[in-house]
Amino acid sequence: MVPTPLNPLPLGRALRRFALDVLIVAVLFALLSLLGGVGWGVWRGVMIALHGEANGQDAHAIMAAVGQPGPLATMLLSIVGVGGTALIALLWRAPPRASERQVARQALRLPATWLLALMAGSVAILCSIVVGQVAASMQEQLDPSNMSLVRGTLGRYPALLVLFAVILAPIYEEVLFRRVLFRRLWQDGWPILGMAASGLLFAFMHEPPLLGGKSLAAALPLWAVYTAMGIVFAWVYRRTGSLAASILAHGLNNAFAIGMMLAFGIST
C-alpha cells in the first residue's frame, strides 16, 4: 500500500484545496462542453446548408433540423468534455512525479496488482447486482440516464461502444476522479475522506442531481452504485499505487455491463 503522509494537513485547509480542484474541474468541463456543443452545432449547420435543408425555413425549423446529437456525436462530446477536462486537470493540478511513476512501474510488475484489479472489478460488479436487486424489491428500475445512449450505440456500433466504454471512458474518468480529485485529499493526509468525496462526485457526474428527471427514490440507488464503484476504484489505486489497476477494474465493470446486455438482449 502506498503510505499516507504522516502529518496530514488541517482538515479545513485540505478541504479548501480539494474544493479548488473541484471548482477548476467544473469550470473546465463547462467550457469544453460548451465548445464541443458549439462545434457540433456549427458542423450540423454547415451540413444542413450544404444539403439545402435550410432554404426557406424559419429559425424554429432550422433548429428542429439541427436536432440532438446522435450516439457517435454524444461519445465524441464526452471525450472532448470529460476527457479534455481530465487531461488539462492532470497536467495542471496533478502532473506525475518521477517517484510516482517509479512506484506505478514497480506495481505493474507484481501479480498482486493485477489480482487486486480483478477483485476490485468483481466487487464493483457485485455492488451493481446487489443494489439492482434491492431497487427491484422496492419496485424501482435501476436505469442510468445514459442507458438509452448505450442501447442505441450497442445496436448500431457495438465495436465503437466497446472501445469507448471499456477503454476510453475508464482511462479519462480514472485520471479525473482518482488521479486528480482523490489524490488531492490522499496526499493531504485524508485518503478515506478522499475516497468518499471523489466517489460521490463520480456518482453525480453520471447521474446529475435535479437534471436527470428522476425521482429521489430512483436516483438514490444509482448514486449508491456509482459512489461504491468510485470508492472501490480509489481503494485499488491507493493500495497498488498504479492508476492502471483502477482503470482495469473500471473497464472490467463496464465490459460486464455490456456483456450482460449482449447476452440477455439490448433492451435489458
The answer to whether residues 37 and 77 touch, using CB atoms and an 8 Å cutoff, is: yes
Top-ranked range on mean pLDDT: pick from 5-9, 54-58, 234-238, 258-262: 234-238
Report, as an integer, the average pLDDT of 36-42: 87
Report, as an integer, the average pLDDT of 24-31: 98
Report, as an integer, the average pLDDT of 90-114: 92
The answer to whether residues 184 and 17 touch, using CB atoms and an 8 Å cutoff, is: yes
The answer to whether residues 117 and 248 touch, using CB atoms and an 8 Å cutoff, is: yes
| pLDDT at residue 193, rounded to an integer | 97
> What's 7's DSSP letter?
S
Share of the chain above pLDDT 90, in %: 54
Lowest mean pLDDT of 124-133, 189-198, 223-232, name the range.
Answer: 124-133
Report, as an integer, the average pLDDT of 250-264: 87
Sign, CA torsion 91/14/176/118: positive
Sign, CA torsion 246/252/258/261: negative
C-alpha pair distances (Å), 211 with each of 28, 52, 187, 207, 227:
19, 35, 33, 8, 18
What's the pLDDT band for 267 if we cut at 50, 70, 90?
A: very low
| pLDDT at residue 14, rounded to an integer | 97
pLDDT: which is higher, 197 or 64: 197
Query: pLDDT digit string (tens) for 62-85?
Result: 555 566 787 888 889 999 999 999
Checking if the pLDDT of 206 tops 60, the result is yes
Query: pLDDT digit string (tens) for 161-181?
Result: 899 999 999 999 999 999 999
pTM for the predicted model, two decimal places:
0.91
Report, as an integer, the average pLDDT of 109-121: 94
Q: Indicate the burial class of 217 (C-beta count within 10 angstroms; 0-12, 13-18, 19 or more).
A: exposed
Sign, CA torsion 33/181/184/170: negative
Average pLDDT of every residue of the chain? 86
| pLDDT at residue 268, rounded to an integer | 41
